[in-house]
Structure 1
Amino acid sequence: MSAHRELTAVSADGTALHVEVHGPDSAPAVVLAHGWTCSTAFWAAQIRDLAADHRVIAYDQRGHGRTPPSPVCSTDALADDLEAVLAATLAPGERAVIAGHSMGGMTVLAAAGRDRFREHTAAVLLCSTGASRLVAESTVVPLRPGRLRTWLTRHILGSRAPLGPVTPVAKRILKYATMGAGSAPHLVDSCARIVHACPRRVRYAWSHVLSMLDLEHGVRELRVPTAVIVGSGDRLTPPVHARRIAAALPDCLGVTELPGLGHMTPVEAPELVSGRIRALVTTYTQAKEGA
């Protein structure tokens, strides 16, 4: 999918972020923040659906896709990066709907208290994400909750091992860990190619950040209208995270729990995710502009 245009946003520490802008320049803006081991390619369905009548801004997180790695990996860096993208793509005072998946949702939570984020955010969609206790709550390892499961999960998700080529076995593993049992083979293949393209060192560095994550304060500071989506079969960020976030959000629009779906909700339920973004734009940006 060719971008309408590409640009570079420079973060606070000098990291050069790859940014794509799809759709008409005068259309309402949507900003998409992808998750751990992914890239702008993860949002292909949303870009395709929304770019006809929205200005869709997607960027590669540091070390992912076409953004080079940085020695700095932290939630503050994620927040800096999102602020840099907003500054580079939106006019002063212009407000967008921001959708974050997994680590992209954590990026939103990390930035929630920042002035530039508040200036530019009309509403948020959080997809398949969490604010804390990611390793302890994960059900990737099919054991009862406890110290053994947590230890095994930390070592699996934080492995330094290369993922290797996208083989049938690799796709079965990825499907089990990240997608619902009914996921179509072409979607599993697409997600596997995106995830396997992430450099091993980048995957490992960010796994450490995620294992130590505590963004509960960011949930309380996210004061814009926020919708939450999660798959009932999500093993990486199970529904307990979505419910905990929703209970703490100042302005929660509700939790949508998708039966049988896994962690990759924008890929597994593309029409629903795109539709929810579209509804947020209509309600919280266009309605206010016309008032």
Structure 2
Amino acid sequence: MSRLAHVASGPYAPPVPARTLTVTSADGARLHAEVHGPEGAPAVVLAHGWTCSTAFWAAQIRALSADHRVIAYDQRGHGRSPASATCGTEALADDLEAVLKATLAPGEQAVIAGHSMGGMTVMAASTRPGFREHAAAVLLCSTGSSRLVARSTVVPIRAGRLRTWLTKHILGSRAPLGPVTPLALRILKYGTMGPGSAPHMVQACARIVHACPRTARYAWSQVLDALDLDHGVRELRVPTEIVAGTADRLTPPVHARELAAALPECVGLTELPGIGHMTPVEAPDLVTGKIRALVAAHTGAHVHAHAEVEESA
């Protein structure tokens, strides 16, 4: 399991959950899950991306849990969820279905937000009965359904076989990331974040990514290399909004545009100028606002903005 060395204060410090639970997936894999906010409030489920953890959603959890029940879980092999011998899109779908069943009442619906591999988890689960029972609407952040390595611009040369080969070996490296040094911060910022990202945002992301065990990082990089979830996009038959950064080197905006064209019920595509791959950290208020709006529009819930809650207190 990962070394949990996250930030200790500020907007990116992981909030303390109201309760935690261990969810058992279809193959017996055990998943760490957290529930934040008041029981009975409108539900939001958050699925993080490759090399991340529930801590990645700290800003959204902190803002939404005032008047939402926010459920976040660690993907297998990430955060506090032990590694599993099984890695693949079917396992991702199994895990999301298991979390929905364990945390939501029968028939209860939630807005499900997925970042990067978390978005791919949603696409993989799109045909599952448990997903269709519980998904009211979806937010996809910085994600794609196929050709991830070939389209990545992490290696700044012309697209082609050489760039794809180099990208595959960089993203699939087995080397340990080591401590969070100034050089490590510069490398992570270049590869995953926009050029204007504030130092505290880069620091938060670096601590999360560097905490991911290298065995899990490598295993899931192989899954992403071979990813093809185009069919899952066409089966995602709930209102779905997309957020993407124009400076995203891992999943460039071409992915978001293709998702928008292929989704049966795309309700919006927002491209954020100068923002990189880590949209929930780089543009926390916008991502939180998108989730709030989806809850209000598609769950029948009437919730107030966090500021309004504070004013009435």
**Shared topology, TM-score over 0.5?**
yes
Tell me the distance in 2 between the aligned counterparts of 1:211 and 1:28: 36
**1:193 pairs with 2:207:** yes
C-alpha deviation, 1:254, in angstroms:
1.8
* Aligned residue in 2 for 1:204: 218
* 1:163 paired to 2:177: yes
- Give the 3-state SS of the residue equivalent to 2:300 in structure 1: helix
> Structure 2 residue aligned with 1:94, among 108, 129, 146?
108
Residues 166 and 287 from structure 1, CA distance in 2 versus in 1: closer, same or farther, beyond 3 angstroms?
A: closer
* CA distance in 1: counterparts of 2:157 and 2:144, whole angstroms: 20
Matches within 5 A, 1:1-291: 1-286=15-300
Cα deviation, residue 286, structure 1: 2.0
What one-letter code is carried by the residue in structure 1 that aligns with 2:273? P
Structure 1 equivalent of residue 12 of structure 2: none
* Amino acid of the structure 2 residue aligned with 1:151: W
- Aligned-residue CA RMSD in angstroms? 0.8
CA distance 1:287–1:39, change in 2 (3 Å) = closer
Q: Distance in 1 between matches of 2:301 and 2:284?
A: 24
Identity of aligned residues (%): 77
Distance 1:2 1:258 in 2: 30
Give the number of aligned pairs: 288
In the alignment, the residues of structure 1 paired with residue 135 and residue 290 of structure 2 have an alpha-carbon distance, to the nearest angstrom, of 16
Please give the secondary structure, in 2, of the residue aligned with 1:68: coil
Listed one character per residue, the Cα deviations across residues 246-267 of structure 1 (whole Å, up to 9, x for unaligned) are: 1000000121000000000000
| Structure 1 SS opposite 2:244 | strand
Provide the C-alpha distance between the structure 1 equivalents of 2:92 and 2:182, rounded to a whole number of angstroms: 33
| Structure 1 counterpart of 2:36, one-letter code | H
Query: Letter of the aligned partner of 1:216 in structure 2?
Result: D
How far off its partner does 1:160 sit? Answer: 0.6
Question: How far does residue 153 in structure 1 lie from its aligned partner after superposition?
Answer: 0.3
Give secondary structure in 2 for the equivalent of 1:230.
strand
Q: 1:135 offset after TM fit, Å?
A: 0.3
Is residue 145–residue 255 contact of structure 2 (8 Å, CA) maintained in 1?
yes
Identify the residue that residue 308 of structure 2 maps to in structure 1.
Answer: none
Report the CA distance between 1:226 and its aligned residue. Answer: 0.1
Letter in 1 for 2:122: V
Preserved CA contact (<8 Å) 2:42 2:301: no
User: 5+ unaligned residues in a row in structure 2: which ranges?
Assistant: 1-14, 303-313
Secondary structure at the aligned position of 1:105 is classed as: helix
Give SS of 1:286's match: coil
- Could you list the per-position Cα deviations for residues 205-245 of structure 1 after superposition, in whole angstroms to 9, with x for gaps in the alignment? 00000000000000000000000000000000000000011
Q: What TM-score results when the alignment is normalised by the length of structure 1?
A: 0.98
Deviation, structure 1 residue 183: 0.5
User: Quick check: 251-260 or 279-288, which moved more?
Assistant: 279-288
SS of alignment partner, residue 296 of structure 2: helix
Matching residue's letter, 2:160: G
Please give the alpha-carbon distance, in whole angstroms, between the structure 1 residues aligned to 2:200 and 2:247: 19
Structure 1 stretches of 4+ with a deviation exceeding 4 A read none
**Partners of 1:37 and 1:234 in 2: how far apart?**
16
Q: Please list the CA deviations of residues 66-85 of structure 1 after superposition, one character each: whole Å capped at 9, or x if unmatched.
A: 00000000000000000000
Distance 1:116 1:47 in 2: 24
Shift of 1:287: 5.3
How far apart in 1 are the matches of 2:259 and 2:155?
23
